[in-house]
Amino acid sequence: MPSRQLGEVLVSNKAVLDWVERQRQLCQPDRVFWCDGSEEEKKALTAGAVSRGILIELDQKKWPGCHLHRSHPSDVARAEHLTYICSPTEAEAGPTNNWADPAQMYKRLHAMCDGAMRGRTMYVIPYLMGPLGSPLSRVGIELTDSIYVALSMRIMTRMGSTAYDQLAGLDDFNRGLHCMLDVDPSRRFICHFPQDNTIISVGSAYGGNALLGKKCLALRIASWMARQEGWMAEHMLILGVESPAGERTYVAAAFPSACGKTNFAMLIPPAHFNGWKVWTVGDDIAWMKPGADGRLYAINPENGYFGVVPGTNWKSNPTAMQCMSRDTIFTNVALTPDLDVWWEGKDGPPPSECVDWKGAPWTPASKDKAAHPNSRFAAPMTNNPALSPEVNNIHGVPISAIIFGGRRADTMPLVYQAFNWIHGVYIGATMGSETTAAAAGAVGEVRRDPMAMLPFCGYNMGAYFQHWIAMRQHMQRPPRIFHVNWFRKDGSGKFIWPGFGDNMRVLKWIIDRCNGRAHGDETELGWMPRLEEFDLEGMPDGAAQRLEAAQRIVLSEWRRELDLQDHFFTKLKGDVPKELLLQRELLASRLSMMSQGMPEGDRAV
Ligand code: GTP
Ligand code: SPV
Ligand code: MN
């Protein structure tokens, strides 16, 4: 066989060749570069990106293989208002998604992409979501004119010829077209065509908008496929807890963007949990399917982590610090004069001077932040010292618990357990959380974010709830369902619960419940730990009072919560399954009974 030069075509699959050729004719790049995923290719592309100033090489002694990228200042987070589900009818997209008619949207986008890569290179990125050979894995091909996207996709997915191995001769692959255009918010669209397994993203080169394997394929398109095919695509971390005796229990947890998945998936237990160990399977996305034994099995479709940087340090998340210690692309952190990186919440004092995420001079006296609040690291999962040995298991890992959790300053206790599956689906469906910097728009406003999927569900949210309910029939041993909140605040605005490693105490109760080893007290909300049995050993004085405060059910707060849930269900119109409306009624009546015997003002929920 003649030796292949970097960038030359490496696939003979006709469906791939035809589709790429059609996109080439549309976008008219000067050059098409077929990625193979090799080390040699990575070196060449990285050198090219550095020479063009797209990547800045960091101090290679401190940060081997690491680079900094600065995105356009208008392009620093997911753009939910510019994200569309283009299914044939508006009803299929549902009231929580932006919808556009597919034919019209194709026309509009094709006009925008017409000649858009003139003078540029089109990178052809074959990628595999999930382990090679897994029946759950899916293939995508992303065409992009961003070398930063090409290098990031290499970290975040199993990129290269391995994807063609999974595809074999078939034409069953996601077609993803990404054009940077002029990175102008007024010409920015992230569009999904679930029925065509197609994504077109224009005008953004940031994270979830541009790395099409992640939110676009692995959540929006996959959630639609999963409903057709009887599985689940969820915004969930997957972790394994190993006991000193070697027993491994796997849990999946859905927290909204920037609400703690990466941190939880990399948890290091406090000293007193000697012999306990948490293994990371995934930190953002879970694909789950019932197995022959009646349990729910999960794979992580990703190959790396695109994690929030600010607040990460050797105390809060040493595992993440190790993940980003080599071969990592940082986006929108600050750069020091000696080519080190800095961000708010890093260990040690801020540098006396540096260059902020926009490239402007910064000192501790500056009023703006040095790193963008949504600055991120893209690191290969193989950097993770706690990477689960099961991460490449083609069958996935059996899930014992599903944990829902939002960022709530009030109302929501630290932890409770659903009475059963359907009650758990209701708890997930009514989740609320404060908005974060992960999406463009206001930060800190409580909104409903069902199952942490509000921005990621590729079809009608009511039908999605129905799918969750229906999945129960396919599992003789369904996961138990829990709700947690690490973010409840006290009267002075401080977090009541220390979080991070101490979340092991909550996780321990959860897995003990799953394995039939811990008591639960029945409350209006669900099962709660018995406070006197909850493991607080090694925590500072006052921990018992703080736990009690974190678990408190405050009727006035729940009254408001029920109203907010009602508003949300009303917004979904007739699409909410009646089972969930009934669960809300049951909760209201339990709380109403609780209010009997309370002072006048607290009664009548
Ligand atoms: P996405 O990648 O956007 O989907 O987010 P994520 O859910 O993986 O969020 P991540 O773990 O990166 O956490 C984001 C923010 O939450 C960071 O600022 C963390 O410092 C903070 N955080 C995470 N866990 C805890 C916790 O247990 N307690 C508190 N108080 N903050 C936490
Ligand atoms: C999120 O916003 O949930 C993320 C980051 O995980 S991004 O990939 O940019 O969507
Ligand atoms: Mn996410």
CA dihedral 362, 368, 374, 380 (to 10 degrees): 20
- Expressed in angstroms and rounded, the spacing between residue 478 Cα and the centre of ligand 3 is 24
Residue 3's pLDDT band (boundaries 50, 70, 90)?
A: confident
Arithmetic mean of pLDDT, 565-586: 96
The confidence score (pLDDT) of residue 605 equals 41
Q: Which residue has the tokens 């997957």?
A: 238
- From CA 490, how far away is CA 546, in angstroms rounded? 9
CA dihedral 81, 87, 92, 94 (to 10 degrees): 10
Residue 596's pLDDT band (boundaries 50, 70, 90)?
A: confident
Mutate to test the pocket of ligand 1, among 156, 257, 259, 266 (most ligand atoms within 8 A of CB): 259
User: Per residue in 370-392, pLDDT tens?
Assistant: 999 999 999 999 999 999 999 99
CA dihedral 261, 263, 265, 269 (to 10 degrees): -140
Q: Is the pLDDT of residue 2 over 70?
A: no
Instruction: Tell which phi-psi region holds residue 409, choosing left (phi > 0), alpha (psi between -120 and 50) or beta.
Output: alpha
- Expressed in angstroms and rounded, the spacing between residue 551 Cα and the centre of ligand 1 is 21
Arithmetic mean of pLDDT, 48-70: 98
What is residue 489's three-state secondary structure? strand
Q: Is the pLDDT of residue 426 over 90?
A: yes
Residue 599's pLDDT band (boundaries 50, 70, 90)?
A: low
- From CA 282, how far away is CA 265, in angstroms rounded? 7
- Expressed in angstroms and rounded, the spacing between residue 278 Cα and the centre of ligand 2 is 23
Mutate to test the pocket of ligand 2, among 142, 284, 443 (most ligand atoms within 8 A of CB): 284
Q: Which amino acid is at 498?
A: P
- From CA 139, how far away is CA 166, in angstroms rounded? 7
- Expressed in angstroms and rounded, the spacing between residue 9 Cα and the centre of ligand 3 is 33
The confidence score (pLDDT) of residue 463 equals 98
- Expressed in angstroms and rounded, the spacing between residue 257 Cα and the centre of ligand 2 is 6
The confidence score (pLDDT) of residue 541 equals 95
The confidence score (pLDDT) of residue 1 equals 52
The confidence score (pLDDT) of residue 122 equals 98
Alpha helices, DSSP H, located in 403-450: 421-429
pTM of the model: 0.97
Give the residue numbers annotated as catalytic, written as ranges. Answer: 259
The DSSP code for 479 is P
Q: Is the pLDDT of residue 603 over 50?
A: no
Q: Is the pLDDT of residue 256 over 90?
A: yes
Backbone angles phi, psi at 479, to 5 degrees: -60, 150
- From CA 262, how far away is CA 244, in angstroms rounded? 24
User: Per residue in 488-542, pLDDT tens?
Assistant: 999 999 999 999 999 999 999 999 999 999 999 999 999 999 999 999 999 999 9
User: Per residue in 467-482, pLDDT tens?
Assistant: 999 999 999 999 999 9
User: Of 378, 357, 377, 376, whose CA–CA distance to 368 is shortest?
Assistant: 357
Residue 206 Cα: closest atom of ligand 2: 9
- What is the bridge-based pairing of β-strands 237-242 and 248-254? antiparallel
What is residue 487's three-state secondary structure? coil
Closest C-alpha to ligand 2, atom 1: 257
Q: Which amino acid is at 286?
A: A
Q: Return the minimum-mean-pLDDT range out of 2-16, 260-274, 330-344.
A: 2-16
Write out the two tokens for 31.
Answer: 């050059």
User: Per residue in 338-352, pLDDT tens?
Assistant: 999 999 999 999 999
The DSSP code for 191 is E
Beta strand extents in 146-196 (DSSP E only): 158-159, 174-179, 189-193
End-to-end CA distance of the chain: 76
- Is the dihedral angle over the CA atoms 257, 261, 266, 269 positive or is it negative? positive
The confidence score (pLDDT) of residue 570 equals 96
Give the binding-site residues of ligand 2, using a 6 Å CB cut-off. Answer: 78, 207-208, 214-215, 257, 284, 306, 438
Give the binding-site residues of ligand 1, using a 6 Å CB cut-off. Answer: 255, 257-263, 283-284, 307-308, 310-311, 316, 438, 486-487, 495, 499-500, 503
Write out the two tokens for 133.
Answer: 């050979």
The mean pLDDT of the chain is: 96
Q: Which amino acid is at 312?
A: T
Backbone angles phi, psi at 440, to 5 degrees: -65, 145
Mutate to test the pocket of ligand 2, among 142, 214, 377 (most ligand atoms within 8 A of CB): 214
pLDDT > 70 fraction of the chain, expressed in percent and rounded: 98
